[in-house]
Structures are given as structure tokens and as C-alpha cells.
Structure 1
Amino acid sequence: MPDSPSGERVPLRLTRRGRAVLVAFAAAVTLAALWLDGGTGAFAGGRADHHGRSGRVRTAVVEPGDTLWGIAAAADPGADPRVTVQRIIDLNGMGGDPTVQPGQRLVLPG
């Protein structure tokens, strides 16, 4: 803090423009952090869900006879397969067509 002529510390005061600049800077830093984190970090359904505990992307290649249910059950055996199926659909942008084809590479939830 700056000192006054009498040697006392003067509290820092921000003008309206200074506050606006500070808020804009904080928003820019937050957006940059979210973007670098993959878009969503702590938010469900974001690209950060692609990364497992090791930080690497987990994928599976669909083999003949594989189903999305079977892939989901194998990807996260302790979880409800319905939830895992939906996460795989969301992560891979399968939307209205959740069918899988042999040779297709799927991103799995971490």
C-alpha cells in the first residue's frame, strides 16, 4: 500500500473503471482456466471426463458382436451400466444414434 506524506498507510481504493478492469481480468483468467482444462473440469459432461485418473484418454475399439452395454459394463464394472452408457454416448457425440460399428473407436469415461 502507498504511504501518505505523514507515513501512514493509505487504503487502496479502486475507481469504477478499475473495478471493471479487475472483474474483466478475473473473468478472462477463469475462462482461460476452463478452456485449458478441456472446457469444463469440474462440470459433469465436459471434455475433462475423457481423462482417467492417470490423465490419459481411455478408448475402446468396437469388436464384432460388441454392444454399447457390454462396453460400458467392462469400462466401469462397479457402476450402473445405464449411467456409463449415457456417458459414453455424451462423450462421443452419439446423440440420436447410439449404435456402434466394428472398428469404431470410443472414448470412455474416466
Structure 2
Amino acid sequence: MRRHPRNPPIRLTRRGRIVLFCLLLAVAGGLITLVSAPGQAADEPGPAPVMIVQPGDTLWDIATRHSGGRGRDATIEEIRRLNHLDGYSVDAGQRLTLPRRG
């Protein structure tokens, strides 16, 4: 029966040590960047935009005008949530808080 000699320890060449060092630096730099980047919660929010419903306005019209990058349906639901609306109708003269554009 032939026995295999024990595996010798891994030895890094000079180039291997340099590559490993650069990789560790890149990982450390990435972690530092993630930890030091301020989140959105760190920004002081300004007052929420408010509008007065005009005669003939519908929730769909208002959401279309103020949807920004999100969809109209998501904006409608956000307006309903912000203003505690049970339904989808609004009245002229009603004051609505609008979602912040982001």
C-alpha cells in the first residue's frame, strides 16, 4: 500500500502576495465606502408638498401630474395613505398632502 505524502503548505509567490494584498485593500475600501455613505434617513426632510384640489380634478389627474418616476397607481395609493382616504374621490377645495418626489 502506497501512502501519499502530506500536502505541503501553500506558498505564495511575490506576485500572489501582491494580488492578495490588492484584493484585501479593495474589499476594505468597499466596506469603508458602504459604512461612511450617508443614508437617505440622514437627510432632513422638508415639508411635504400640499395642494388644494381644483374643480374637475380627480385623484387620477393629480397622481398623473405628481407621479414623477413612479407609476400613477402607486402614487394614488400613496396619496390615499398620506391623507387617510377611504375611497378614490376628492372634493374641490380639499387639501391633499402629496408624496415626496424621489
Runs of 4+ in 1 over 4 A off after TM superposition: none
Structure 2 residue 47 is the aligned partner of structure 1 residue 56? yes
Q: Which has the larger radius of gyration?
A: 2
In structure 1, the partner of 2:37 is: none
Q: Decide which structure has greater helix share.
A: 2
- Structure 2 counterpart of 1:90: 81
**Coordinate RMSD, CA, aligned:** 2.2
* AA aligned opposite 2:76: V
Aligned residues: 59
Counterpart residue identity of residue 63, structure 1: Q
1:100 is aligned to 2:64: no
Q: Determine the structure 2 residue equivalent to 1:109.
A: 99
- TM-score normalised over the length of structure 1: 0.48
Q: 1:71-105 deviations in whole A, cap 9, x for unaligned?
A: 0111123321000000000110002x221000000
Match of 1:71 in 2: 62
Instruction: State the alpha-carbon separation in 2 of the partners of residues 78 and 71 from structure 1.
Output: 14
C-alpha separation between the residues in 1 aligned to 2:45 and 2:52?
20
**Unpaired runs of at least 5, structure 1:** 1-41, 43-52
Equivalents in 2 of 1:77, 1:70: separation in Å? Answer: 13
Higher relative contact order (CA 8 A, sep 6+): 2
CA offsets 1:47-84 (integer angstroms, 9 cap, x no match): xxxxxx85112011100110101101111233210000
**What percent identity do the matched residue pairs reach?**
40
Task: Report the Cα distance in structure 1 between the residues aligned to 2:45 and 2:66, rounded to whole angstroms.
Answer: 15
